[in-house]
């Protein structure tokens, strides 16, 4: 019998829920043959070939992965949805920038979503007050797609749903930013209790985590476990940081010196872009802070 292809939508300890491409049916699958000895190697998000045997369905082969995350353990991620409230709690841009660097290092596209728009404006078409305006503008200048939403009022949800309707999305963002609220609004059938997304993070050390991909009402899938909750920067040389900063990456080819760190070098096109307003001053400052951190790390290494 020919193998059928599908996507693992939930990896449990020895059983896998696989959604078949042709029928959309979800089958509970075991592992077949040598795959059994590599159980940890089948992840939620994996594209697999399934055979239907007399004893039940089994995964026969894992197709090549486009990428994989460690936390949460998931493969073939299409984007990160970084969620941050405009107020309550106030956004902390440098923490967002750390997540952005991690995502860029994995070459994962990022969609930014600012929640609780209703706490800073009366109507969704009102201009944003400061400091929200500067924040949103800085990320838009960087080139990131930015969505502004207020889930309880239905503001901004259609455009966001459209941005997520292809492929698999992993959420990121601090506690209280509104991740569960947003997921419930995008998929009313899910009815996650507020706060449930992070409970699934298994902060209690002993819980085993089983990541699931949940279908969104308008199309697309979202992992029920957020990622990028650690703030540490990936292993990078200081001169690599600019490559992970879209607006710096864009301007850097015009710097006078190759290997320019964009700090105080003469003829730096990145500083010129900041002075001309193409790069937000605060984004540039955050770059310098993280650059300093990488340099300190390097100095520690050679002590
Ligand atoms: N006014 C307003 N409140 C919101 C909005 N989105 C979420 N909230 C509220 O913010 C609080 C936190 O929302 P959650 O959805 O639990 O946030 P979370 O990111 O899932 O938080 P953790 O589970 O701790 O990671 C809840 O009281 C929500 O009702 C919004 O757009 N506007
Ligand atoms: Zn430069």
Between CA 127 and CA 138, with CA 132 as vertex, the angle to 5 degrees is 100
Contact 184, 191 (CB under 8 A): yes
How does 175-188 read in b/e, with b if 16+ C-beta sit within 10 Å? eebbbbbbbbbbbe
Overall residue count recorded for the chain in this entry: 303
Residue 151 CA: nearest ligand 1 atom is: 31
Distance CA 197, CA 193 (A): 8
Token pair of 115 as six digits:
């929640």
Q: How confident is the model at residue 202 (pLDDT cuts 50, 70, 90)?
A: very low
- The finding on whether 177 has its CB within 6 A of some atom of ligand 1 is yes
- Give the H/E segment covering residue 148: strand 146-148
Token pair of 246 as six digits:
């879209």
161 CA distance to ligand 2 middle (Å): 38
Residues contacting 295, CB < 8 A, separation 6+: 238
- The finding on whether 195 has its CB within 6 A of some atom of ligand 1 is yes
Which phi and psi angles does 91 have, rounded to 5°? -70, 150
Residue 155 CA: nearest ligand 1 atom is: 31
Output 12-15 pairs: Cβ under 8 A, ≥24 positions apart.
12/210, 13/39, 13/208, 13/210, 14/39
Distance CA 154, CA 5 (A): 37
61 versus 33: the higher-pLDDT residue is 61
Distance CA 290, CA 98 (A): 8
Token pair of 267 as six digits:
């003829």
Token pair of 226 as six digits:
């957020």
Per-residue pLDDT tens digits for 99-144? 999 999 999 999 999 999 999 999 999 999 999 999 999 999 999 9
Per-residue pLDDT tens digits for 237-262? 999 999 999 999 999 999 999 999 99
Closest residue by Cα to atom 7, ligand 1, is 178
Q: How confident is the model at residue 232 (pLDDT cuts 50, 70, 90)?
A: confident
Annotated binding-site residues read: 115-118, 173-181, 255, 260, 262, 268
Mean pLDDT, rounded, for 184-195 = 68
DSSP state of 153: G
Domains of the chain, each with CATH number or no CATH: 4-62 (2.40.50.140), 68-223 (3.40.50.300), 238-301 (1.10.40.50)
Contact 174, 95 (CB under 8 A): yes
Percent of the chain predicted with pLDDT > 90: 79
261 versus 14: the higher-pLDDT residue is 261
Q: What is the mean pLDDT of the chain?
A: 91
Per-residue pLDDT tens digits for 15-55? 999 999 999 999 999 998 777 766 668 999 999 999 988 88
Please give the ipTM for the structure prediction: 0.98
Distance CA 287, CA 295 (A): 12
The whole-number pLDDT of residue 64 equals: 94
DSSP state of 245: S
The whole-number pLDDT of residue 207 equals: 43
Annotated binding-site residues for Zn(2+) read: 255, 260, 262, 268
Distance spanning both ends of the chain, measured CA to CA: 62
User: Is 194's pLDDT higher than 60?
Assistant: no
User: Is 191's pLDDT higher than 60?
Assistant: no
């Amino acid at each position: 019998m020919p193998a059928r292809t599908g996507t693992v939508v939930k990896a449990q300890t020895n059983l896998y829920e696989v959604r078949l491409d042709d029928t959309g049916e979800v089958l509970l699958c075991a592992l077949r043959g040598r795959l059994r000895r590599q159980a940890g190697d089948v992840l939620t998000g994996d594209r697999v070939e399934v055979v239907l045997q007399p004893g039940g369905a089994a995964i026969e082969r894992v197709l090549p992965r486009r990428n994989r995350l460690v936390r949460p353990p998931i493969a073939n991620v299409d984007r990160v949805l970084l969620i941050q409230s405009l107020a309550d709690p106030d956004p902390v841009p440098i923490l967002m920038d750390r997540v952005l660097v991690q995502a860029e290092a994995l070459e994962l596209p990022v969609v930014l979503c600012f929640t609780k728009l209703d706490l800073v404006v009366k109507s969704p078409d009102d201009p944003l007050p400061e400091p929200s305006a500067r924040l949103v503008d800085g990320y838009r200048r960087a080139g990131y797609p930015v969505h502004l939403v207020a889930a309880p009022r239905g503001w901004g949800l259609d455009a966001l749903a459209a941005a997520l309707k292809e492929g698999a999305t992993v959420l990121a963002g601090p506690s209280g930013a509104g991740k569960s609220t947003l997921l419930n609004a995008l998929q009313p059938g899910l009815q996650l209790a507020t706060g449930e997304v992070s409970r699934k993070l298994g902060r209690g050390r002993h819980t085993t985590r089983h990541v699931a991909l949940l279908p969104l009402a308008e199309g697309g899938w979202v992992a029920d476990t957020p990622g990028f909750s650690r703030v540490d920067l990936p292993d990078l040389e200081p001169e690599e940081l600019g490559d992970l900063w879209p607006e710096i990456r864009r301007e850097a080819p015009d710097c006078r010196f190759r290997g320019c760190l964009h700090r105080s070098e003469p003829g730096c096109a990145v500083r010129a872009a900041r002075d001309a307003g193409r790069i937000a001053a605060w984004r540039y400052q955050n770059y310098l802070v993280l650059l300093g951190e990488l340099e300190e790390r390097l100095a520690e290494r050679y002590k």
